[in-house]
Structure 1
């Protein structure tokens, strides 16, 4: 089974949004104050603390526009935060969730049918490895099991 990388949003995209650049819908990011109840920053992959300012933005985690390039809302800290760095470890906050939807995509960023599944936190790594072992799959999206919101990308770790 391949080792995994749990990949947050790219820093350049996040910094643009934190500096007020338009989101995937062309809108200015919305600013809100966190109540501390489940707002996950997609860059540091940690909860946004109660009282902290955060952004809600429309995000499309794909490089191409095609029928499978879903778009939806995500949260980011309004102020600069550090990128999630422990890429080979499932972010701690996701170990506390009820579950995540995992779905495999091919090299053309299209869903590989039969790979989608909702898994408990203790199953995420094994399920992602099995999905990535599917011939056509190049990466996996982790999404909210209840709202389908994009969380992070899972890729095989490339040995150098």
Structure 2
């Protein structure tokens, strides 16, 4: 199974930057990175002194009772995004994560929620969850903070949002 890893879409971020606020009305404000912040636009950690913003983000692009929104860091100015969409983001391979799966109707697939520790094989666990017939896509989230990391879908059509 080939998996597609998707960061926050560049188009949505650009629209927020142009508006000067996130999709929830919070002002787009410049912050200077300390160097630990996980950037959800390009799926890497910020370097010290990089210009970043803290925004409220939901991976849902339409209304849903399952919609979860929360704070995430992104580059203040546009960046190239995450281009290695066929590779599990390296900065997340050894983290505490939650695989939050959804079915083909967009409802949470509770039976397949998976909690991962630093030592777990994140790629294998994600392949296992996405291989379940009822699972269409997975929101990978931080187990510690609960914030969104990235969207994972199958490239071969066995799952997909």
Note the alpha carbon deviations across 1:33-70, whole angstroms, 9 max, x for none. Answer: 11112x11112111111111111111111122222111
Q: 2:74 aligns with which of 68, 73, 76?
A: 76
Q: Which segments of 5 or more consecutive residues in structure 2 lack a partner in the other structure?
A: none
Kept in 1, the 8 Å contact 2:94–2:117? The answer is no
- Measure the CA separation in 1 of the matches of 2:28 and 2:105: 28
- Corresponding residue of 1:123: 121
Report the Cα offset of residue 96 of structure 1.
4.0
Note the alpha carbon deviations across 1:106-129, whole angstroms, 9 max, x for none. Answer: 233221111112113542111111
Number of residue equivalences: 156
Kept in 1, the 8 Å contact 2:66–2:108? The answer is yes
Kept in 2, the 8 Å contact 1:68–1:111? The answer is yes
User: Normalising by the residue count of structure 1, what TM-score does the alignment of the two structures yield?
Assistant: 0.89
Note the alpha carbon deviations across 1:72-122, whole angstroms, 9 max, x for none. Answer: 11110112211211111111211343x211111123322111111211354
- Corresponding residue of 1:152: 150
Q: 1:137 to 1:29 in 2, by over 3 A?
A: same
- Corresponding residue of 2:17: 18
Q: Which segments of 5 or more consecutive residues in structure 1 lack a partner in the other structure?
A: none
Superposed counterparts of 1:47-126, under 5 Å: 47-97=45-95, 99-120=96-117, 122-126=120-124
- Are 2:37 and 1:27 aligned? no
Could you list the structure 1 runs, at least 4 aligned residues long, displaced by more than 6 angstroms after superposition.
none
* Matched residue SS, 1:93: helix
Root-mean-square deviation (Å): 1.7
- Corresponding residue of 1:139: 137
